[in-house]
Structure 1
Amino acid sequence: MTLLEVRDLSVTYQGGAAAVRGVDLTLEAGQKLGIAGESGCGKSTLALALLRLLPAGTRVTGRILLDGEDVLGMRWGRLRAVRWAGASIVFQGAMHSLNPVHRVGDQIAEPVLLHGRATPAAARKRAGELLEQVGLPAARASAFPHELSGGQRQRVMIAMALACEPGLVVADEPTTALDVMIQAQILRLIEQLVTDQHLGLIMISHDLAVLADTCDRLAVMYAGRVVEQGPARAVHEDARHPYAKALSAAFPRIGDPASRFAPAGLPGDPPDPSALPTGCAFHARCPVALPVCAADDQPLRQAGPDRSAACVHVEGVPDADAGGLPSESARSTP
């Protein structure tokens, strides 16, 4: 069953910054979708747009269908009913997301009370059960956020996201600033909860390896657009878009000495969303760019079974060899 459909979604901030441009995504119930990209590529803006959490004055166009209902067309009362109960978000940086002067149990119970799911006493009991569900003792409900470690606070955020039993959970960089051991525990916890409760999960990260290990499908964003999507491991291990390849190569691979001692990198930064270049936004950083890339933006094209990539070099696309840039090997030849 289709849980979420995003169709031609664009988000433009005041001042003209085009943070998201024509994004199409589909998520089935029980499916895990990863969204990857560097900072500034539009990942968090996309997450906030799903529940209309963007600042006033932001222009949003397209469609966001949650269980068939368009979020962008919802009245305020209906939108409040959908938040937490239909879909919820685990924000990055739990210390900044939790209220420092309220006990964590009260904060977990708050959405339950707001949605009329239980009495105050039952909501407090529910908070303790949720803490145990995410691997913390129920007694920690009386703690303030500063009394918990980073990993424990992140577990509290996950418990809050699950409080009203939503069908969709959006996890925006849920393991930011956590050490690798705690990161692994949080990722396994999220995976288990998605499987047990048949949730739809959107996980956002800059780390392709984490997403490939956790998610079923993967979408790579650059300059507000999805430039490649497909099965997560296939995209990570055999990316078809040069940007996705660069992201994958930036992380050393276990057992591969070459990548360990000489990890690949990508010079430069994503373009300013308020001053995007013509053509493919990646062409200025692309090692295999052709003249046509600077003139024409490339749409997503089929790049294999259940895969697509927005690149002129995708198999089956006519080679724009007239005036094309030389290959890497040719460039290095004296």
Structure 2
Amino acid sequence: MSLEVRDLRVTYGTGAAAVPAVRGVDLSLAAGQKLGVAGESGCGKSTLALALLRLLPASARLSGEILLDGEDVLTMKWGRLRAVRWAGASIVFQGAMHSLNAVRRIGDQVAEPLLVHGRATPAAARRRAGELLEHVGLPAARAAAYPHELSGGQRQRVMIAMALACDPKLIVADEPTTALDVMIQAQILRLIEGLVTEQSISLLMISHDLAVLADTCDRLAVMYAGRVVEEGPARQVFEAAAHPYGRALSSAFPRIGDPASRRAPRGLPGDPPDPAGLPGGCAFHPRCPVVVESCAERDQQLREAGPGHRAACVHVGSVS
């Protein structure tokens, strides 16, 4: 399933109190492709993920287009949208313990999408739930367990099994390894990558971890203050970012075997701006190490930074 996001804008509240969370995002994801979206907390990543299937609260106002195989999610009638969720596109939420129903057995929860979409009888749905659990590395017998009886990694596997239940063509994974230890994180990432490759599923993965996305995805988009400030081939964005924010995210990870990186790790001071009080011009300029006077005067649009690579920075093409 292909995904095309055109000038997506999301605000919370109304009138003078409206707060912009996503500000004119354009993204494209071809069928079978893996796209990563990176950025610090507060940059609009999760709002973007929820907007793709219209899962935002009633206080959110959306405009633009979200095209799944050419069909706009924002204009779908409720019945059509309900049919698309889980069956056409599904989502793996961050924080599995908060996403699973604590008083229902996990087998029933994995089977629920099959029953809602009329894909199986109750008996067949239970059998399929066991198969899906085994597919993600859990014994079928664990279908009788409650969420609190599973570890964090096991609960995340249950979420992935639920997302796969109706054979979707697109999976949105919003911080799928949050709060997991490094070993379990690696297992979950390998599982997701293997499943989407094996089944030719499109994947949009959201994370604050640029290194994880570079290893998992084909392309990478970097968000800051509700906008995409850089996008291009994943390894290129990670290793040779054209935007100073992308470079800051990349350099925050120490390079194994690099003494300079170990002794003087670099970071980025400050925090992303409050969406209710964005600075004028480029929103990144108060934190930017290469800021110039014009950065505070006008915002920057994405411009070519190489083959298939774009960045929204006045310095693109003039700095290494």
Normalising by the residue count of structure 1, what TM-score does the alignment of the two structures yield?
0.93
Equivalent residue for 2:7?
Answer: 8
Deviations 1:133-172 (A, max 9, x none): 1011111100000100000000000000000111110000
Partner amino acid, structure 2, of 1:267:
P
Q: Which has the larger radius of gyration?
A: 1
Choose the corresponding residue for 1:77, options 69, 79, 91: 79
Query: How far did residue 108 of structure 1 move?
Result: 0.3
Choose the corresponding residue for 2:225, options 223, 226, 231: 223
Partner amino acid, structure 2, of 1:254:
I
1:92 pairs with 2:91: no
Q: Where does structure 2 lack aligned partners over 5 or more consecutive residues?
A: none
Equivalent residue for 1:122?
Answer: 124
- Which runs of structure 2 are paired with 1:45-194 in the superposition (5 Å)? 45-194=47-196
Choose the corresponding residue for 1:305, options 299, 304, 307: 307
Normalising by the residue count of structure 2, what TM-score does the alignment of the two structures yield?
0.97
Partner amino acid, structure 2, of 1:9:
L
Query: How far did residue 57 of structure 1 move?
Result: 2.6
Query: How far did residue 16 of structure 1 move?
Result: 1.5
Partner amino acid, structure 1, of 2:287:
R
Classify the secondary structure of the residue corresponding to 1:303: strand
Over the residues paired in the alignment, what is the CA RMSD in angstroms? 1.0
Classify the secondary structure of the residue corresponding to 2:256: coil
Equivalent residue for 1:290?
Answer: 292
Dislocated runs of 4+, deviation >4 Å: none
Deviations 1:248-280 (A, max 9, x none): 011111221211232111111101111111100
Query: How far did residue 35 of structure 1 move?
Result: 0.3
Partner amino acid, structure 1, of 2:304:
Q
Deviations 1:60-117 (A, max 9, x none): 0100000110000000111111110111110000001000100000000001100000
Deviations 1:260-306 (A, max 9, x none): 23211111110111111110000000010111000000000000000
Equivalent residue for 1:322?
Answer: none
CA distance in 2, matches of 1:214, 1:253: 18
Query: How far did residue 233 of structure 1 move?
Result: 0.4
Deviations 1:203-226 (A, max 9, x none): 100010000001000000000000
Query: How far did residue 184 of structure 1 move?
Result: 0.5
Classify the secondary structure of the residue corresponding to 1:284: helix
Classify the secondary structure of the residue corresponding to 2:205: strand
Query: How far did residue 312 of structure 1 move?
Result: 0.2
